[in-house]
Structure 1
């Protein structure tokens, strides 16, 4: 959806629309970020492999799990709804939460860039801001276009104060409350 014109839509109206769309077409994944409805590209095989790799790494964190495609209510001034590629939270955190859960208790969100025209605005601009405004402690971006990993941390309510960028192949620290070192060497074999 590249048309920048949009009408006012409440969070509740969006959630109803997203639910309807998913029932009509299971591959349809909608998000509502900064007042804009956007389609999220259906993941490809490399995208899926990266998420599985991260799930394996995060499974070493006691009592935590990296959930794929959990919808989050991003309670910023525009009341957004995002569906990150991964959400690190306590293993029982989303029981009873429904399709769109609160960000309270979420330790980290993960996005892996897609091969679509909306990736730059959505993954590199809108989502970091929305996640920081919501107070999510860590945002991990696996950028397949630039062959970089970006770790955003220390949200101040407007943006992340710290952004560490490393090329694929380097080790980067995912700061507390995640607290692990991530060796990004495998990404060099999967992303070309």
Structure 2
């Protein structure tokens, strides 16, 4: 993602109003605002949802006190001006109680994205979101890339980018670094890709 040389045409307040209206008026569309760019996120398909449930159930015994919150809107990127809706945000159970639709990122231990079958997934999930989550200092960004049949673990955010990015083919064990320090068995992922 490149830096914006000028102020974006849309303020975050305007974006939030637009996102609320889009959710009321349209079916199957969610909006995000990252790096001064308005993005459309497709509604997940059945395999996408199954992968999310697999990960949620897998993490529960290994991360006591943490839960994978689906679709929680987060204030991301430089100075919290971006708005992203990761597929999952691993955080304490009550982390988002009392927040509005777009919550602060501080309690998030890991952001999770599962690639969608839309044309914007490359730019959004593989380029913009690693930058936005690193700027927000989310400790881990886990990308489950169905198109490439691999899992990418981003870690060690420095406020600009993630210092570490490790790739693992589906079926290989995937170590998640601190603060989780667990290993995921990704064998089932091989059954949920085309």
Please classify the TM superposition score into its range, dividing by the shorter chain length: over 0.9
- Cα distance per residue 1:62-108 (max 9 Å; x no partner): 11100100000014157110000000000110001111000011100
Q: Is the 8 A contact 1:22 1:29 kept in 2?
A: yes
> Partners in 2 of 1:178 and 1:11 — Cα distance?
32
Aligned to 1:22: 23
Match in the other structure for 1:164: 166
Question: Where does the alignment leave 5 or more consecutive residues of structure 2 unmatched?
Answer: 1-6
Question: What is the distance in 2 between the residues matched to 1:122 and 1:115?
Answer: 12
* CA offset digits 1:44-66 (Å, max 9, x no partner): 00000000001101211111100
Q: Partners in 2 of 1:78 and 1:148 — Cα distance? A: 30
**Cα RMSD after superposing both structures:** 1.4
What is the TM-score with the length of structure 1 in the denominator?
A: 0.94
Question: Could you list the per-position Cα deviations for residues 132-168 of structure 1 after superposition, in whole angstroms to 9, with x for gaps in the alignment?
Answer: 0110000000001110000000001111000110100
Helix, strand or coil for the counterpart of 2:128? helix
Tell me if structure 1 keeps the 8 A contact 2:77–2:133. no
2:106: which partner in 1? 104
**Pick from 76, 82, 92: which aligns with 1:90?**
92
TM-score (norm 2): 0.93
- Is 2:146 the partner of 1:144? yes
Which position in structure 2 is the counterpart of 1:72? 74
Aligned residues: 187
Give the equivalent residue in structure 1 for 2:42.
41
Aligned equivalents of 1:27, 1:168: Cα separation in 2: 28
Please tell me whether the aligned partners of residues 74 and 80 of structure 1 are also in contact (alpha carbons under 8 angstroms).
yes
